[in-house]
Chain A
Amino acid sequence: MSDARQNYLSAGDTVKSWLLTTDHKRIGILFLLSILFFFSIAAAAAALMRLELLHPQGHLVVPDTYNKLFTIHGVLMVWFFLIPSIPSVLGNFLVPLMIGARDVAFPRLNLLSWYLFLTGGFFAFHAVILGGVDTGWTFYTPYSSAYSNSHVVEMALGIFIAGFGSILTGLNFIITIQTMRAPGLTWFRLPLFVWSMFATSIILVLATPVLAITLLLMGVERVWGIGLFNPKLGGDPVLFQHLFWFYSHPAVYIMILPGMGVVSEVITCFARKQIFGYKFVAFSSVAIAIIGFLVWGHHMFVSTQSLYAGLTFSLLSFLVAIPSAIKVFNWTATLYRGSISFEAPMLYIIGFIGLFVVGGLTGLFLATLAVDVHVHGTYFVVAHFHYIMVGGMVTAFMGGLHYWWPKMTGRLYPRRLAQVAAIILFIGFNLTFFPQFILGYLGMPRRVHDYAPEFQFYNVCSTCGAAILGLGYLLPLLYFVWSLRYGQKAADNPWQATGLEWKTTSPPPKHNFEVIPVVTEDPYNYPPLNDYGEHEHA
């Protein structure tokens, strides 16, 4: 440890030093590797589905297999990739660095959340190997609790266990951000990524227990036949939907708020400017977290929920759109009189704004009661939430990885190739999911393996797009791995960014900072620019 060049990666290279690490940075890397594993399986499931859908009467897989594919895709992508993606990988790695702390508040609890994730992941993966689950990721009762002949309980158990990992991560972040900020780092000097992680953590802690309860009740009905949701046992199937969406709608914000945090970091760095409307961007994250708890019924406008419940949830759903709009306006305004460079992270983030705007606007269609009655349960919904979760969150995750990769690994990736990959991803994404809006309004239901012949053209577009999108994911994987060995060594602050994470070495030392920094200025305090976009050095 006396070696000054010792960093968190070289500080111990035994398996044990990784598996028993309490270093938040190493835990972030462990999460990165684990979620990549689940992402690959879920992406492969999606690829098979897209191939099946090339033809209206696709005969690639039997119906039962198709139903299992979309379930595996949904479950793994939501709980074993998206939810832990930015929070557990980038959040774990960056939150302590950004607030000038040496670790999170409870490092061992942090390691425990990775083990809980792995244990949950083991059950989920085992359920897949045993033959999968065919309920859809939503586990609607009474299908899941009484009719499905697949490994529902084991899959639910996996999600149940992994959920405790989420709760611990959220708890850890809240306490870390509350108590461990460096001297001088007041709330309004925090990077916006930290604000978004704080808001996300509130949702993780408050919503995830409800999911645990819901899945537990479903399991109890399935295993012991205790009537809760199945009307034949005196239960109420719609009650399940209320409970499920009480978690799962806020969970949508777990899957987008962290991405919004990444956007604020990257856009300021590559525009060389202070963010426009810092407090509005910060509080809009909190507003989303709070209002997000009150809109779950918009998933249930045609579920036999009462007319007046529908009206209320529609109104609240419109309100939750406002804070997101505020963020987009502020990001755009940040570019005004900036000095913009189009490095790969920035390209991803520009892509994010484009896709997120489309995702957000189509959310208004779904909040509009009469329009939702038509498009609910169709490909319109599929397109909408992929625009938010893949177009938004995954693009932001890619942007964030490209932005912090030099910090995490101490290496640079090939610059041009990364820019190309970002553009490929954007094109592939739009070609995959835009046609699905049209399909949805035409009335193609989701979760079907065959469809009316007039829908074929759009499905073929979508499958072609998915192939391009796949390339957009594969390229970064290849050059990231390449960079670990052959990449140029990264400077401590290759992007000349503000923020405490750039003030330490790349990769950071085991305990982040030799001396805890003292913060004396606002975030994103980039120096003034001259007419050519260079910083004026006084």
Chain B
Amino acid sequence: MNVPFFPPEASSLAPETDHLYFFLLGLSLFVMVFVFVPLTFFLFKYRRGRRANRAALNLPTNRIEITWTVIPTLISLGIFGAGASVYFKEEVPPQHYLDVNVIGKQWMWKIQHQEGNSEINELHVPVNQAIKLTLGSEDVIHSFFIPAFRLKQDVVPGRFATEWFQPTRTGTYRFYCSEYCGMDHAKMEGFVYVMPAAEYKQWLEQAPPRNTLAQSGEKLYRILGCSGCHDGQTLVHAPPMEGLYGALVPLGDGTTVRADETYLRASILQPASHTVAGYQPVMPAYQGRVSEEQLMELIAYIKSVAHSEPLKKP
């Protein structure tokens, strides 16, 4: 019978989490010894009828109390700091990464690669390369959990969540939904395949998709009528998409925001609340008219033209 004691350690940050875990285990053992040894000793030594010195005491109670208040407080602050620093690394992705989209819906995971490949309940990634996941939900809250990477992120409808990891060992690892999401929550699971870079490339090419994610996004951009206004050659006055992603955008209310995924998402779904300075709030809301998947495709398109020049007005 297979009785594991410890999960595989397969990402760059997994060992850091495990170090914290082992440190906490050690500390727990220490505290247990500190409490249980005297406890057991007293229970034995001072059991009724056994001869022992029970003369009244005059201990410096306040000093003892302060000691066992201050020392645990200091230790706690230390653990807090250590835990926070690893958390910080988990929250902030490195500069260069591979973008992968994950969409949770009752009760499956759909994964989109930038090359256009998509898969269900499986995630293929190259080893030793940082991967950034952008996660969205079509319905309720899910949570994307890869134990081997010591990583978990709730996938909340109505917003994007991100997480990143860098696999360090090839192999197959399980992932789960770890936020209860309804009847088949237990079945909302799958496998991560960590492959050598060359094999990953092969995998991408073995069933080449017709369009990349950005190309699908561009199609949608036309079908949904976005291009009708946002393309430079139209007469409607709408901000161009070229060069938008990553730029600072002045809004009508005087504030400035960075055009990241969150901003693009909000501007597509609820444009009236994010009108760009100098434009009229004429764009219809797309809330409820595009799925999470389509939204991610549209954003992939907008990102793909981040370094293009807008077309000139006629």
**Residue from A231, A302, A314 in contact with B154 in the complex, judged by beta carbons closer than 8 Å:** A302
| A37-73 contacts to B (CB < 8 Å) | 63-64, 66-67
Contact (Cβ within 8 A) A304 B90:
no
| B68-125 contacts to A (CB < 8 Å) | 68-69, 72-73, 76-77, 79-80, 82-84, 86-88, 90-91, 106
Contact (Cβ within 8 A) A364 B151:
no
Any B CB within 8 A of the CB of A13: no
Q: Which residue of A lies closest to B173 (CB)?
A: A443
Task: Note all chain B residues with C-beta closer than 8 A to A532.
Answer: 48-51
Contact (Cβ within 8 A) A364 B152:
no
Any A CB within 8 A of the CB of B28: yes
Any B CB within 8 A of the CB of A507: no
Contact (Cβ within 8 A) A371 B72:
no
Bound CA span A369–B153, Å: 13
| A495-538 contacts to B (CB < 8 Å) | 528-534
**Residue from A236, A277, A321, A353 in contact with B76 in the complex, judged by beta carbons closer than 8 Å:** A321
Contact with B along A113-127 (1 / 0, CB 8 A): 000000000000000
Bound CA span A157–B145, Å: 33
Centre residue among A302, A303, A333, A353 by max chain B CB count within 10 A: A302
Centre residue among A319, A364, A532 by max chain B CB count within 10 A: A364
Contact with B along A302-339 (1 / 0, CB 8 A): 11100100110011001101100110111011011111
CB of A84, distance to nearest CB on chain B (Å): 26
Contact (Cβ within 8 A) B42 A335:
yes
Task: Note all chain B residues with C-beta closer than 8 A to A315.
Answer: 77, 80
Task: Note all chain A residues with C-beta closer than 8 A to B253.
Answer: none
CB of B27, distance to nearest CB on chain A (Å): 8
Bound CA span A350–B47, Å: 13
Contact (Cβ within 8 A) B141 A448:
no
Any B CB within 8 A of the CB of A109: no
Any A CB within 8 A of the CB of B21: yes
| A344-390 contacts to B (CB < 8 Å) | 350, 353-354, 357-358, 361-362, 364-365, 367-374, 376-378
**Residue from B21, B46, B187 in contact with A371 in the complex, judged by beta carbons closer than 8 Å:** B21
Contact (Cβ within 8 A) A374 B152:
yes
Contact with B along A142-181 (1 / 0, CB 8 A): 1100111000000000000000000000000000000000
Centre residue among B48, B79, B106 by max chain A CB count within 10 A: B48
Contact (Cβ within 8 A) B35 A530:
no
From A25-33, A245-253, A255-263, A452-460, give the one contacting chain B: A452-460
Interface residues on A, range: 35 or more
Contact with A along B133-152 (1 / 0, CB 8 A): 00000011101010110111
Task: Note all chain A residues with C-beta closer than 8 A to B198.
Answer: none
| Contact A335 to B156, CB < 8 A, known contacts A325-B68, A442-B7 | no
Any B CB within 8 A of the CB of A238: yes
Contact (Cβ within 8 A) B151 A357:
no
| Contact A280 to B178, CB < 8 A, known contacts A314-B80, A364-B24, A448-B186 | no
Contact (Cβ within 8 A) A340 B43:
yes
Any B CB within 8 A of the CB of A136: yes
CB of B67, distance to nearest CB on chain A (Å): 10
Task: Note all chain A residues with C-beta closer than 8 A to B154.
Answer: 302-304
Task: Note all chain B residues with C-beta closer than 8 A to A16.
Answer: none
Contact (Cβ within 8 A) A448 B2:
no
Contact (Cβ within 8 A) A318 B76:
yes
Any B CB within 8 A of the CB of A276: yes
Any B CB within 8 A of the CB of A106: no
| Contact A140 to B87, CB < 8 A, known contacts A303-B154, A368-B24, A368-B80 | no
- Which 10 residue pairs of A and B lie closest in terms of their CB atoms, listed nearest first? A231-B158, A443-B147, A368-B83, A369-B87, A370-B86, A448-B186, A377-B178, A335-B42, A318-B76, A529-B54
Given A232-B158, A325-B72: 9 more A-B contacts, CB < 8 Å: A63-B183, A230-B157, A307-B87, A337-B52, A364-B79, A367-B83, A371-B21, A377-B179, A454-B3
Could you give 21 example pairs across A and B, Cβ below 8 Å? Answer: A63-B185, A134-B183, A140-B180, A143-B141, A148-B182, A302-B143, A304-B161, A329-B35, A332-B42, A339-B54, A340-B42, A340-B48, A357-B31, A361-B24, A361-B31, A368-B80, A446-B178, A448-B185, A457-B3, A528-B56, A533-B48
